[in-house]
Chain A
Amino acid sequence: MKLSAIGIQRLLRASSALVIVGLLLEIVSLLWFHPLSFVLFAFVAATLIGLGILVYLVSLVFAATPPTGNRN
């Protein structure tokens, strides 16, 4: 159980880091008035944010899975 909690925390950290980097890049893309800013947003920022959300959802699945010993 302890190991699982550590795993969830790692996933949360990874998710937060991905979301933060993605969001900061989104701010850069919004302030940069250039055709490449859309590429930066769509292919880098949105991908990182999406990955962050996905990692967070995976961590939820981990948290919802009961430990093997408690299963009936």
Chain B
Amino acid sequence: MIGILICQIVLSVVLAAVFLILPSVTTGAAWKVLAFIGLCVLPALCIVGGMNTHIQRSEQTQFCISCHVMVPYGKSLYVDDPTHISAQHFQNHRVPADMACYSCHADYGIYGPLKDKLQGLTRIYMQYVSTPPNEITIPGGFKNAQCLHCHLGARSFEENQIHAAIMDSLTSNQMSCLTSGCHDTAHDVANLSHKKFWKPVQ
């Protein structure tokens, strides 16, 4: 996919180079059409394609942990302990392994991807321009909706007696899945040095 986009960009560059070197050729009708394609249509498509590629790329686990501060969080996905909720999801492919961060941290609302991107840009700003916070926190806390996006409607989740008893509190976000004492170990990056890690075969 990225190869097609790069071919399109190269084609645009070649066409634009023609009009940079020989702008006088646009007096002919056919060249005018070509100029419109080369200097308006193709570059606009390149912006759309580029934006799409960058947004898709930012959903990848590798992209998230390419940020220095996120490296321990990426490492925590390999902790060999079933009580670590993020590691358990990642290692058992309960979320796609190549989109592990995004699957649990995405805002699934209608403007979710846009909000996520803006939040990402805020963090880049904090990292390179302002002062990065000592502790990384999720603005507004981790919302149950992110768990329920997959678990709600799943038989094993709904037939669990504890879940069934507190379902209203969970769906209304009154009781947190993570901080109410049930699934309270997510990443635990502070204690990674004492942990045993799972090594995948491939």
Contact = CB atoms under 8 A, between A and B. Distances in A.
B101 to A, nearest CB: 12
Contacts of A12: 19, 23, 26, 35, 39
Interface in B41-58: 43-44, 46-47, 50-51, 53-54, 57-58
B20 A53 contact: no
B95 interface: no
Interface residues of A, number: 34
B16 interface: yes
- Identify the interface centre among A13, A19, A53: most chain B CB within 10 Å of its CB: A19
Interface of B: 2, 5-6, 9-10, 12-13, 16-17, 19-20, 23-24, 26, 35, 39-40, 43-44, 46-47, 50-51, 53-54, 57-58, 62-63, 66-67, 117, 120-121, 124, 128
Given A16-B20, A53-B43, A38 B13 contact: no
B186 to A, nearest CB: 22
